[in-house]
Amino acid sequence: MQTNPTHTSLVAVGDSFTEGMSDLLPDGSYRGWADLLAARMAARAPGFRYANLAVRGKLIGQIVDEQVDVAAAMGADVITLVGGLNDTLRPKCDMARVRDLLTQAVERLAPNCKQLVLMRSPGRQGPVLERFRPRMEALFAIIDDLAREHGAVVVDLYGARSLADPRLWDVDRLHLTAEGHRRVAEAVWQSLGYEPEDPEWHAPVPPTPPPGWVMRRSADVRFARQHLLPWIGRRLTGRSSGDGRPPKRPELLPYEDLTP
């Protein structure tokens, strides 16, 4: 891979992770690792263009149907694709279908960009995730196979000890904090061949005193009321948090023309 390359365009494809939840800005919008990465790349390349097609809650089939052809037609230097994790978190998940859909996506995107980037998504510590971990790891094996076959870069966030730390996850326990997104942006930046700005992004977060029992139980109750029960309700009724929501940056436009 070229060292310190100059890419002129980036298209991000995926779900809430790439949309930027929960890196919340003062105006109520989300930033996230893809926006942070685009800002860095734009500083290196005058006229840099960026699109973010990701929408929260999307399954891999929806990503293929709604985003992949659009992204491929843009002909960007770099395309990032992160999808399939929402499928693995459903009560029923057909991993053979997930593989077929991811294969379709990669086969469509890889020939239409200079560098396709795939990811092993981060996974926080905790008992809830343990139920789904075998599916997640099966998904990552699929991603590794597709990357080898199609010359894609794989960013291994799952293996980063820092991103397993609950302190880098929002109160919903599904999305990274601003610091978590910053570390992901650094990981992708380095994987593309740029000079590291934070060589220790994957290092564990310095220890802090653990919260007391009362604080932990209060956090559990708040999580269940505000996030877990609504999430279960959407699963039972077939709804998604992204229903009717458009991509935040649907066109490949000069970065400076976009709202930061």
| 253 inside domain | no
* Shared-domain flag, residues 68 and 93: yes
Least confident of 28-32, 127-131, 178-182, 230-234: 230-234
| 250 inside domain | no
* Shared-domain flag, residues 153 and 105: yes
Q: What is the band of 205 on the pLDDT scale with cuts at 50, 70, 90?
A: confident
Q: Which SS3 state, helix, strand or coil, does residue 249 take? A: strand
Per the model's pLDDT, the better-predicted residue between 38 and 223 turns out to be 38
| 122 inside domain | yes
- What pLDDT sits at residue 229? 56
CA nearest neighbour of 66 among 54, 77, 74, 56: 54
| 256 inside domain | no
| 104 inside domain | yes
- Report how many domains make up the chain: 2
Summarize the chain as % helix, strand, coil (round to 5): 50, 15, 40
* Shared-domain flag, residues 48 and 140: yes
Per the model's pLDDT, the better-predicted residue between 260 and 16 turns out to be 16
Per the model's pLDDT, the better-predicted residue between 241 and 176 turns out to be 176
- What pLDDT sits at residue 244? 74
Q: What is the band of 38 on the pLDDT scale with cuts at 50, 70, 90?
A: very high
The continuous run of DSSP H or E covering 81 comes out as strand 78-82
- What pLDDT sits at residue 260? 39
Domain of 231, in residue numbers: 209-241
* Residues 45, 54 contacting (CB under 8 angstroms): no
CATH of the domain at 100: 3.40.50.1110
Share of the chain above pLDDT 70, in %: 81
* Shared-domain flag, residues 222 and 97: no
pLDDT exceeds cutoff 60 at 219 = no
Q: What is the band of 235 on the pLDDT scale with cuts at 50, 70, 90?
A: low
Q: Which residues pair with 254 in a beta bridge?
A: 49
pLDDT digits 0-9 by tens, 45-85? 999 999 999 999 999 999 999 999 999 999 999 999 999 99
* Shared-domain flag, residues 237 and 188: no
* Shared-domain flag, residues 137 and 232: no
- What pLDDT sits at residue 87? 94
pLDDT digits 0-9 by tens, 113-156? 999 999 999 987 665 577 888 999 999 999 999 999 999 999 99
pLDDT exceeds cutoff 80 at 208 = no
| 260 inside domain | no
What distance in Å separates the CA atoms of residue 174 and residue 172, rounded to the nearest whole number? 5
Whole-model pTM: value is 0.86
* Residues 183, 162 contacting (CB under 8 angstroms): yes
pLDDT exceeds cutoff 50 at 259 = no
